[in-house]
Amino acid sequence: PFHKEVRRLRVKLRMQRLFDGSVDIKDGRNRVQQFLRRRLNNLYPDLSREERAEIEDMGQKIMDSKGGEEEDGADKSKRVYRV
């Protein structure tokens, strides 16, 4: 179903942003774990067990990737411009 795929991608993007926006890897892991434990049920109360398990697996992959590199191998390094 299309709406489930969209929801899955939105949750993945949110977890990715939480992890990437953190100070360090430990903080990023904590943010993603907090999201999975507390916010996910409030945002999507109608998740099935299978969907929840899939989202938790995605969260684990994001946390294990040390910076959440995308599958396409795009360069995600941050650049600093001085003015």
> Percent of the chain having pLDDT more than 70?
80
- Helical H runs in 21-77? 25-34, 40-43, 49-64
pTM over 0.85, yes/no:
no
| CA separation for the pair 80, 28 (Å, rounded) | 21
pLDDT at position 6 over 80 = yes
What type of residue is 44?
A: Y
End-to-end CA distance of the chain: 48
So what's the pLDDT on residue 1?
Answer: 78
pLDDT tens for 17-50 read 999 988 888 999 999 999 999 999 899 999 999 9
